Each structure stands twice: as C-alpha cells, then as structure tokens.
C-alpha cells in the first residue's frame, strides 16, 4: 500500500441517502479525491496531502447543505479501513471482484483480485459495475482485440478485458498512484503480459489505435476528450462510457454523434448511466 500521507474529509450528510453521497463523490472526484468510504451519516473522502486544496473543497461543498471536518491520515491506516469495508462483488453472476483476505467466495467465470492503493475502481460504484456488465454484453468485440482502459484507476476494467480474451490492453490514468496500482493488479491477476499501464492524459492515445475504448470518467473530461477518443478508435470499434448521470446522456450523445459515432445502448443504475457508441466502418476523417 502506498505510504503517502492523505487528507480525510468527513462529510456529514443530512438527510443521508446514497444518491446524495454519490453526487458529492462525483463533484469531489474532480479535485481530485481518489477514494471514498460511506459510514452513514458520513461520507469519508481521501486525497493525497500535497493535492489537498482547502479553498477548492470549500467551494464545492458550499453548494451542499453539509458539515465537514478535515484530518490527516497515514497511508497505512487505509489498509485497515479497506480490509474492514471491502466485500466481494458479483456482476451478472459472471464476474467476481474480491480481495486477498476474502474467503469462501464462490468462483464465477471471471475472477478478479484487487488491491486499491487509494485508486478509484473496486466495482462498488454503479459506474464501474455497469461498465463491467456492459463489457460482458460485448464480449465478441473485446475478444482478440486491442482495448484501451482510459482513467483506469485500479485497472479493474482492463484486467477484465484481458481475462475476456483481449489481445492487448492499454491502461491510462492521470494519477501515478492509479497507474502503479493498475500495473500491480494486472500482474497479480496473471494478465500482466497483456496489460500495459501508463501515467498521463488523453494525449497518450496517439500511441496507437484501439478496437474498444473504456472510459469511466466524469462528464467534463469525456466531453473534453471525445474527439481524441473517436480519432483513436478503429472503424467498427466501440466506445463504452460511464462516470456521469442519466441527465448528462443527451449532452454526451450529441457530442459523440456530432463526430460520426452511432448510439448503440444505454443502461442506468441509481441515476448513474452507461452508454455504448460505435464508430461506423465507413467513417469520414475528422
């Protein structure tokens, strides 16, 4: 586990609801807070000490009727919290996400062992869950093809793609902790030879072309980088996106269709959405 010091922000939500907690998580993830733990009525949010911005936090939370406190925690303390909180996750009866300390967990078709290292993406969040579920629906598009996991976090989606038979997986995250976490988790899951992790932004996509792009990121980043995604996607390829609310789908769909993409499918889970678009095989250059 990363030994860096972290700031814990404990936000008291009144009244408490999962929806309110998820809205706050979505806003704070842009600062960028990396991990969240729910302990009703508190949402505990974690960010590296050197990235903590008191004024930015105050500005975001001023839009909510909440009270919050700030404290310093050592990275080692997160291990204990992680082990206490994490429970296995099963997606559509086909994918199990678990930690090394989980015992008596039924095996499914795809089994993923994960250690978060303060990186986002353990399968608990509705967006990650939906992305994995959607990947299962498009298994033929993944098997034998090149996949990009953009904003990879722990690398869980890229690892699943590799286990589903992707020929090559590129995992990219702007956070160095996440990129290292994805690399470590890929090797732990014995798909390290297929998964290459890099620290950086969408500019790294120019390294190659991809058959499937997985992007579980917030709406603003998706809109900002949409053209890069489309340009980097091979004709006939798929773009799977999540990390936004159902109310944001129309805006994202309009942006993608304006670049020649075709809407394929949408799912939702507790107001969080997941969308699939395809790039026609006959595509005008951008």
Residue 59 is encoded by which pair of tokens?
């500005």
Cβ–Cβ < 8 Å for 182, 173: yes
245 or 63: whose pLDDT is higher? 245
Q: In Å, how far from its chain's centre is CA 151?
A: 6
Cβ–Cβ < 8 Å for 39, 55: no
The range of the structural domain enclosing residue 38 comes to 5-83
Smallest CA-to-CA distance from 146 within 214, 201, 94 is with 214
Query: Do 42 and 173 share a structural domain?
Result: no
Half-sphere CA count of 247, side-chain side, radius 13 A = 3
Query: Do 59 and 10 share a structural domain?
Result: yes
What residues contact residue 258 under an 8 Å CB cut-off, 6+ apart? none
pLDDT grade, residue 3 (50/70/90)?
Answer: very low
Q: Is residue 157 part of a domain?
A: yes
Q: Is residue 74 part of a domain?
A: yes
* Residue 156's CATH number: 3.40.50.150
Query: Do 170 and 273 share a structural domain?
Result: yes
Query: Do 173 and 264 share a structural domain?
Result: yes
Last residue of a domain, one of 57, 83, 109: 83
Cβ–Cβ < 8 Å for 169, 162: yes
The Cα 265–Cα 278 span in angstroms is 10
Q: Is residue 145 part of a domain?
A: yes
In SS3 terms, the chain reads as CCCCEEEEEEEEECCCCHHHHHHHHHHHCCCCCCEEEEECCEEEEEEEHHHCCHHHHHHHHCCCCEEEEEEEEEHHHHHHHHHHHCCCEEECCCEEEECCCCCCCCCCCEEEECCCCCCCCCCCCHHHHHHHHHHHHCHHHHCCCEEEEECCCCCHHHHHHHHCCCCEEEEEECCHHHHHHHHHHHHHCCCCCCEEEEECCHHHHHHCCEEEEEEECCHHHHHHHHHHHHHHEEEEEEEEEEEEEHHHHHHHHHHHHCCCCEEEEEEEECCEEEEEEECCCCCCCC
Position 118 pLDDT exceeds 60: no
Smallest CA-to-CA distance from 277 within 252, 240, 224 is with 240
Position 84 pLDDT exceeds 70: no
pLDDT attached to residue 28: 85
Position 115 pLDDT exceeds 80: no
Query: Do 129 and 38 share a structural domain?
Result: no
Distances (CA, A) of 45 to 24, 26, 67, 70, 78: 10, 11, 13, 10, 12
Q: Is residue 251 part of a domain?
A: yes
Cβ–Cβ < 8 Å for 31, 54: no
Q: In Å, how far from its chain's centre is CA 26?
A: 11
Q: Give the total residue count for the chain.
A: 286
Position 169 pLDDT exceeds 50: yes
pLDDT attached to residue 79: 54
Q: Is residue 108 part of a domain?
A: no
Position 75 pLDDT exceeds 80: no
Q: What percent of the chain has pLDDT over 90?
A: 50
Q: Is residue 50 part of a domain?
A: yes
Q: Is residue 112 part of a domain?
A: no
Of 25-34, 43-52, 142-151, 252-261, the one with minimum mean pLDDT is: 25-34
Query: Do 158 and 33 share a structural domain?
Result: no
Q: Is the bond into 61 cis (omega within 30 degrees of 0)?
A: no
Q: Mean pLDDT, to the nearest integer, of 189-217?
A: 92
Task: Say how many domains are in the chain.
Answer: 2
């Amino acid at each position: 586990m990363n030994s860096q010091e972290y700031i814990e922000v404990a936000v008291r939500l009144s009244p408490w609801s999962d929806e309110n907690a998820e809205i706050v998580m979505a806003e704070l993830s842009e600062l960028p807070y990396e991990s969240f733990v729910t302990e009703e009525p508190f949402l505990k949010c974690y960010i590296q000490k050197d990235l903590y911005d008191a004024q930015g936090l105050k500005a975001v939370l001023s839009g909510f009727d909440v009270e919050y406190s700030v404290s310093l925690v050592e990275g080692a303390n997160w291990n204990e919290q992680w082990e206490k909180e994490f429970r296995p996750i099963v997606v559509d009866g086909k994918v199990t996400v678990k930690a090394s300390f989980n015992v008596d967990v039924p095996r499914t078709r795809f089994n993923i062992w994960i250690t978060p290292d303060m990186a986002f993406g353990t399968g608990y969040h509705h967006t990650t869950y939906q992305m994995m579920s959607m990947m299962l629906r498009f298994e033929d598009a993944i098997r034998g093809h090149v996949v990009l996991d953009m904003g990879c976090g722990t690398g869980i989606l890229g690892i699943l793609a590799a286990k589903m038979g992707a020929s090559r997986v590129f995992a990219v995250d702007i956070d160095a902790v996440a990129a290292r976490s994805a690399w470590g988790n890929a090797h732990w899951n014995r798909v390290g030879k297929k998964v290459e992790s890099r620290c950086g932004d969408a500019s790294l996509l120019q390294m190659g072309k991809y058959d499937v792009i997985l992007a579980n990121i917030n709406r603003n980043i998706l809109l900002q980088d949409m053209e890069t995604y489309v340009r980097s996607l091979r004709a006939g390829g798929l773009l799977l996106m999540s990390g936004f609310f159902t109310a944001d789908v129309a805006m994202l769909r309009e942006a993608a269709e304006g670049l020649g993409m075709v809407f394929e499918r949408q799912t939702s889970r507790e107001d969080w959405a997941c969308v699939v678009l395809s790039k026609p095989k006959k595509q005008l250059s951008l």
